[in-house]
Structure 1
Amino acid sequence: MNSAKVSQKISFHDYLIESLQKPEEAAAYIAAILEEENPEPTLLKSALLDVVEAFSKTTLSSEQAESQRQKLDDILSQSGSQAIYGLASWLGAMGLQLSVNVQNQDDQ
């Protein structure tokens, strides 16, 4: 086999992290996770950590990424409105925002 023809494979995780480096993609990813009907208990945290990993490759230093991971752990250990306000603040620090939209009547 000619070594020049060997294709470079990329894992799904690598592809995901690369795509999440675009803030629009990161926002859509988090929104999709929040719309899950029966999410796994750790799904949201995993998605948010994926975004931190992606942003650590473009906009966050390694120290900032670690700080965001620690803040996320603190936020997700809270309950009620503290967790919601904390998440909104955390997203803001990442250049994203939490928003509420009118639900499509077909989705009800």
Structure 2
Amino acid sequence: MKEMKMPTSDSYYESLIESLKDAEHAGGYIGAILEEKDPEPALLRNAIRKVIEARIRMNALSESAKEHHEKVDKMLTESGGSEIYSLVELLEALGFRLEVTVAEIELRAESESTDFAESELSPEPASL
């Protein structure tokens, strides 16, 4: 993963979204959340939303990615991500690790535009 310096003049959120435009950084960001020993599904959901927002700002979110995001977001909302975290735990018990890496092909936007508004992707308030 590339070393990235956070600018002091921008907000943390804007700096994070800017850093997530880098595919390696975005993959590492999601991967780190999947590796948590005490998983918090809301964090995974928000991390994916932030990566989606970065792609939208790059005009690099395909219609296919949008559709898959809607399905995964619904699953994470309804089940709390139990399926994903169960898979991670099973793989660890078998001696494997799930890793998020950059695909060999270059990600590019399809000709269709996205219907996501930035307000839809804003981080949800954390509940304590």
TM-score when scaled to structure 2?
Answer: 0.48
What stretches of structure 2 of length at least 5 have no aligned partner? Answer: 1-7, 88-102, 108-128
Aligned to 1:18: 18
Q: Residue 18 of structure 2 aligns to which amino acid in structure 1? A: E
User: 3-state DSSP class of the match of 2:41?
Assistant: coil
Counterpart Cα distance in 2 of 1:80 and 1:41: 11
Residues 68 and 54 (structure 1 numbering): CA distance in 2 closer, same or farther, change over 3 Å? farther
Query: Structure 1 14/64 Cα, relative in aligned 2: closer, same or farther at 3 Å?
Result: farther
Query: Shift of the alpha carbon at 1:21?
Result: 0.5
Residue equivalent to 2:96: none
CA distance in 2: counterparts of 1:57 and 1:68, whole angstroms: 18
Equivalenced residue count is: 78
* Match of residue 52 from structure 2: 52
| Cα distance between partner residues in 1 of 2:50 and 2:70 | 14
Per the alignment, in what secondary structure is the counterpart of residue 10 of structure 1?
coil
Matches within 5 A, 1:22-37: 22-37=22-37
Secondary structure of the residue aligned to 1:60 is coil
* TM-score after normalising by structure 1: 0.55
Could you tell me how far apart the structure 1 residues matched to 2:68 and 2:57 are? 14
* Cα separation, 2, equivalents of 1:60 and 1:44: 19
Residues 52 and 68, structure 1, Cα contact 8 Å, conserved in 2: no
- 8 Å contact 1:56–1:65 — kept in the other structure? no
Q: Which runs of no fewer than 5 residues in structure 1 stay unpaired?
A: 1-7, 85-91, 96-108
Report the 3-state secondary structure (helix = DSSP H, G, I; strand = E; otherwise coil) of the residue aligned with 1:46: helix
**Structure 1 stretches of at least 4 aligned residues deviating more than 3 Å after TM superposition:** 63-69, 77-81
Whichever structure has more helix as a proportion of its residues is 1
Does residue 73 (structure 1) correspond to residue 73 (structure 2)? The answer is: yes
Q: Deviations over 1:45-78 (max 9, x none)?
A: 01111100111111127x7775454223233236
Computing the radius of gyration from Cα coordinates, the structure with the larger value is: 1
Partner-residue secondary structure (3-state), 1:36 = coil
Identical counterparts, % of pairs: 42
Q: CA RMSD in A?
A: 3.2
